[in-house]
Chains A and B, each alone.
Chain A
Amino acid sequence: MPSVCFYFQVHQPFRLRHYTVFDRSPRYFDEFKNASICRKVANKCYLPSNRLLLDVIRRMEGRFKISYSITGVVLEQFKKYCPEVMSTFDALAETGCVEFIGETYYHSLSFLYSSNEFTAQINKHSELIQQLYGQTPRIFRNTELIYSNDLAETIEKMGRFDAIITEGADHILGDRNSNFVYRPPNCEHLKLLLKNYSLSDDIAFRFSNQGWKEYPLMADKFATWVNRVNGNGQCINLFMDYETFGEHQWEDTGIFSFMSHLPEEVLKHPDNCFMTPSEVVDAYESVDVVDVPHIISWADTERDLSAWLGNAMQSSALHEVYKTEPLIKKTQNEELLADWRRLQTSDHFYYMCTKYFADGDVHKYFNPYESPYDSYINFMNVLGNLKERCDESFGGRSNRMLSKSS
């Protein structure tokens, strides 16, 4: 003890193209933009990171382990735009030191709106992971680590998951810390793995911050922080976006070299080890119940849903998407279903966030739109067209005049 447990989130949405109310085309996604972003991030992050980690895993001869949660929508894009990324993930899977975690295929907020859709998307994702990497996920993480007791219950009922990964938010832990395995209050079997946000953010956010008192962060220093947990913790859950490596923290910050040296430094202490989430779950019993009656997430400082549901546009867009579910499913048209599901990706709603818009922070950096208003207008125009296509598939003609539709 302690076991260091890495989990990396890999995701890219299908970004929409500019779509006005006058557009009639059934093509909603910006192929060019998606391809170029996918290739850019692949070259800066996915490819070098995968190669580096593969190299470290081989060098450590089975003593370094990691896990990934890769969304269905990003896997579709890898396959289409940069297949070489697929082969590096294949190689990682073959080492036996890499675990793949389950989530919703479309990185959606479906848990909040439609339990049918939620389980359907988890199953679709698990099938894809099984098909690609020969593993059926045992651990579940929800989009943006959104979690509550209700979610735990839903996942337990699915019967094939052993644990859920979520945020180790202070207000759910109280005076406890995230370095133990916990359990939800309403589940028999399921365990909880909570993110150690302090150590995770040291790598993901503070690593290159020259104003930080620990700058520059070296692998040996980080290892001493890991050692400090010794005797007072089972696991250190380091959960972060995979894009941390090379994209959020550029190569010249030394992030790759940090990751390359970290395993050796951590393993210098004989009590330390690396584990995948499943191994953590198998190795340790849960020590206590963590009660989360209200929804949490890993976003911003609020750790709530306000980044996706903070204003009237976001809630209207989400409601409208899920209101279309019966209509879409009635058409039994695979193409319409796929388009509709791609619209569920949480990023579309994140772009509509007005919370910090004026301050120009992280929300803006990842936003392909000039403003949250533009993203809402674009999204609603696309959704409007999708509904029309559904109506047309029944042979009906929808009335496009405002007086009828509003």
Chain B
Amino acid sequence: MKVFMLGWEFPPFISGGLGTACHGLTKAMNDMGLKVTFVVPKPVDSDFSTHVKMLSPLQCSVPKTSADKAAADELLEWNNVKFHMISSPLEAYTTPQYYEQKIEELLSQRTPLSTQSSDIEPDVERWLRETEQIEHIANEHYGGDMYSEIHRYAASAVRLAIREDFDVIHAHDWMTYPAGIAVASVTGKPLVVHVHSTEFDRSGEHINQMIYDIERRGMHAAQKIIAVSYLTRNIIITRYGVLGEKVEVVYNGVEQNGENRPLTFNKIGIQSDEKIVLFLGRITMQKGPEYFLMAARKVLEEVDNVKFVMAGTGDMMHRVIEMAAQMGIGHKVLFTGFLRGKDVQKIYEMADLYVMPSVSEPFGIAPLEALNHDVPVLISKQSGVAEVLTHVLKVDFWDVNEMANKIIAVLKYPPLQLTLREHGNFEVRRLRWSGAAEKCRKIYQDILVQV
């Protein structure tokens, strides 16, 4: 079976869990012998510009540093997965309507008599050439900009797709849904959309209508929808008007931590008898950073030798720093900024407890990673991962009192920490990507039988 997979990010160019999930899933599919063609846009985010561009075997770029070479080698070892990078998105001087019109045109030419992909290839090429030659014009409106990027990606994906041989299309999150729909329309292959997050998780009730519309269209166009939790499945059914029978739940996994972790490390700026409570994630409304701070203040009323570390960045960062200062606990809260690689590992090694107070979390891979690093975990009940983890502490994100109560208990009673760590680590070993990949394969098989 061959899968044409559409993604938006891939390690090391990630801003959240989506890239991690795509990496884990495709790796497991590779091991299982599923042929995957993975299409991602080239990274352009300035945050990542210091890192080399992700390597595509097809483009044969030369790795610049040894670390990147290692990463490249790892990817090259994946015999069954082929990566395609779509060149930097243009801030194209076009309207969304233009792209849609283009797709419509392509479809109209794809008559039942001419199902050969070569027949429409020239048209796709023309379309792409048109977009490439459009002069760069700054676009103030982010949404519009993003929209253009998404459609540029869609057009490129169609170009790749007509030259590829595959059985099923698998699109990850809303950015790739238009591409998924376009590829499905052109090739007639079944579409699976994978919902890692919905607009309601990211924005609460103040949703971006354009994004919602894209999500809704993708979900309705798909033959099957994969939700990362029942929490997300419920949102898909109630908010997007999708029939329940169309939505399957496939939980994320976590990759085995095979590296030997050093036992000694420096706790710079932190006294050795101090406990550390960790928040790791984007500092945005969705992740509930303010509840973490409110709980921290309560904890500090009872316990003194503890520091609260907030690792990550986000649009609420400044507000949260100010909030900590106003609460008078600024000296107890450390901000590390965005961490990656070894730094993430280091911070996990230092932590006594990982807290994920998310207001709405479709899944939440980070707690699995914390458990993989032997760190006990406190998660909000409003997270999908709460459905699969039993050996963790759970709390309603708004129940700051209970959150503090549980944080204190972990700091105060070593047997609690020990039991959570032992059982949690054991439990997380069962949540492997291979299970998720196996479920995806079953879903593919089911829809191919139907078709």
| Count: A-B pairs, CB below 8 Å | 88
> Is there an interface contact between A370 and B405, defined as CB atoms closer than 8 Å?
no
Q: Mark B389-422, 1 if CB is under 8 A from A, else 0.
A: 0111110000001101110110111111011101
* Chain B residues with CB under 8 A of A289: none
B390 to A403, Cβ gap below 8 A? no
B427 located at the interface, meaning its Cβ lies under 8 Å from any Cβ of chain A in the complex: yes
Q: How many residues of A contact B (CB 8 A)?
A: 27
Interface string of A360-392 (1 = CB under 8 A from B): 000000000011111011001100000000000
Cβ contacts B412-449/A at 8 Å (1 or 0 each): 11111011101100010000000000000000000000
Residues of B within 8 A of A312 (CB): 415, 418-419, 422
Cross-chain contact A357 with B304 (CB below 8 angstroms): no
Question: Given the complex of chains A and B, what is the CA–CA distance between A371 and B391 in angstroms?
Answer: 8
Knowing A22-B298, A312-B418, A357-B391, say if A402 contacts B423 (CB, 8 Å): no
A210 to B385, CA, bound (A): 35
Q: Supply 6 A–B pairs (Cβ within 8 Å), ascending by A.
A: A311-B415, A313-B415, A358-B390, A376-B409, A377-B409, A402-B412
The docked-state distance in angstroms from the alpha carbon of A99 to that of B414 is 46
A354 and B401 contact, CB distance less than 8 A: no
> Is A21 located at the chain interface by the 8 A CB criterion?
yes
In the bound complex, CA of A370 to CA of B391 (Å): 11
Contact present for B302 and A402 (CB under 8 Å): yes
Chain A residues, CB < 8 A from B62: none
Interface residues of B in 349-373 (CB under 8 A from A): none
Q: Given A357-B390, A402-B302, A402-B303, answer yes or no on A381-B409 (Cβ-Cβ < 8 Å).
A: yes
Taken together as a complex, chains A and B put the C-alpha atoms of A312 and B414 apart, in Å, by 9
A315 at the B interface (CB under 8 A):
yes
Q: Is the CB of A380 within 8 A of B409?
A: yes
B238 at the interface (CB under 8 A from A): no
Q: Are A21 and B408 in contact (CB under 8 A)?
A: yes
A405, CB-defined interface residue at 8 Å: yes
Write the residues of chain A forming the contact surface with B, with a CB cutoff of 8 angstroms.
Answer: 20-22, 311-313, 315-317, 354, 357-358, 370-374, 376-377, 380-381, 400-403, 405-406
Q: How far is the CB of A399 from chain B (nearest CB, A)?
A: 11
Contact A22–B420 (Cβ < 8 Å) = no
Measured CB to CB, the closest approach of chain A to B263, in angstroms, equals 21
Which of A21, A372, A405 counts the most chain B CB atoms within 10 A? A21
Distance to closest chain A CB from B352 (angstroms): 12
In the bound complex, residues from chain A placing their C-beta under 8 Å from that of B420 are 373
Closest CB-CB distance, A49 to chain B, in whole Å? 35
Hey, which chain B residues are within 8 Å of A21, CB to CB?
Answer: 302, 404-405, 408-409, 412
* Bound form: Cα–Cα A20–B302 in Å: 12
The closest CB in chain A to the CB of B418 belongs to A312
Docked CA distance A12–B298 (Å) = 35
Instruction: Choose from A20, A313, A373, A405 the contact partner of B412 (Cβ within 8 Å).
Output: A405
- The residue from A376, A377, A402 contacting B305, defined by CB atoms under 8 A apart: A402
Measured CA separation A21–B295 after assembly (Å) = 13
A22-B405, A377-B405, A381-B409 known; A401-B393 Cβ under 8 A: no
Contact B304 A313 (CB under 8 A): no
* Contact status A354-B419, CB under 8 Å: yes
Question: 8 smallest A-B Cβ distances: which pairs?
Answer: A316-B415, A312-B415, A20-B405, A377-B409, A402-B303, A358-B390, A312-B418, A313-B415
Partner of A373, one of B301, B408, B416: B416
Contact yes or no, B411 A402, CB < 8 A:
yes
For B, the interface residue count at a CB cutoff of 8 angstroms equals 31
Q: Shortest distance in angstroms between A24's beta carbon and chain B's nearest beta carbon?
A: 12
CA distance A405 to B305 in the complex (A): 12
B401 and A20 contact, CB distance less than 8 A: yes
Q: Given the interface contacts A354-B419, A402-B408, does A380 sit within 8 Å of B413 by beta carbon? A: yes
B415–A358 contact, CB under 8 A? Answer: no
CA distance A357 to B391 in the complex (A): 8
Given contacts A21-B409, A357-B423, 8 further A-B pairs with CB under 8 A are: A20-B405, A313-B415, A315-B415, A316-B414, A373-B419, A376-B416, A401-B304, A402-B412
Residue of B nearest to A401 (CB): B304
Instruction: Give A404's nearest chain B residue, CB to CB.
Output: B304
Assess whether A376 is in contact with B413, with CB atoms less than 8 Å apart: yes
A380 / chain B contacts, CB cutoff of 8 Å: 409, 412-413, 416
Write the chain B residue with the least CB distance to A317.
B415
When the two chains form their complex, are residues B304 and A403 in contact, meaning their CB atoms are under 8 A apart?
yes
What's the Cα separation between A312 and B421 when bound, in Å? 11
Q: A277 to B391, alpha carbons, bound, how many Å?
A: 43
Task: For the complex, give the distance between the alpha carbons of A403 and B303 in Å.
Answer: 7
Which residues of chain B are within 8 angstroms of A381 by Cβ–Cβ distance?
Answer: 405, 409
On whether A354 and B409 interact (CB within 8 A), knowing A22-B302, A316-B415, the answer reads no
Expressed in whole angstroms, the Cα–Cα distance for A401 and B414 within the complex equals 15
* Residues of chain A within 8 A of B404, CB atoms compared: 20-22
- Chain B minimum-CB-distance residue to A373: B393
B415 to chain A, nearest CB (A): 4
CA separation between A72 and B304, bound complex, in Å?
Answer: 42
Residue of A whose beta carbon sits closest to that of B423:
A354
Question: What residue of chain B has the Cβ atom nearest to residue A406's Cβ?
Answer: B412
**Interface pair B394/A370, CB less than 8 Å apart:** yes
Q: With a CB–CB cut-off of 8 A, which chain B residues contact A405?
A: 412
Which B residues lie within 8 Å of A357 (CB)? 390-391, 423
* Contact, CB under 8 Å: B413 / A401: no
Chain A: minimal CB distance from B142 (Å): 42
CA distance A311 to B417 in the complex (A): 12
Also in contact, A403 and B416, with CB within 8 A (given A21-B405, A21-B409): no
**B273 shortest CB reach to chain A, Å:** 8
Q: A380-B413, A402-B302, A406-B412 are in contact. Are A358 and B391 (CB under 8 A)?
A: yes
Chain A contacts for B413, CB-based, 8 A: 313, 316, 376-377, 380
When chains A and B are docked, how far (Å) is the Cα of A372 from the Cα of B412?
A: 17
**CB-CB under 8 A for A358 and B427, given A312-B415, A313-B416:** yes
Determine which of B393, B401, B412 lies in contact with A22 in the assembled complex, contact meaning CB atoms within 8 Å: B401
Q: With the chains together, A354 CA to B427 CA distance in Å?
A: 12
Q: How far is the CB of B132 from chain A (nearest CB, A)?
A: 54
Give complex CA distance A281, B302 in Å: 57
> Which residues of B from 203 to 227 have beta carbons under 8 Å from A?
none
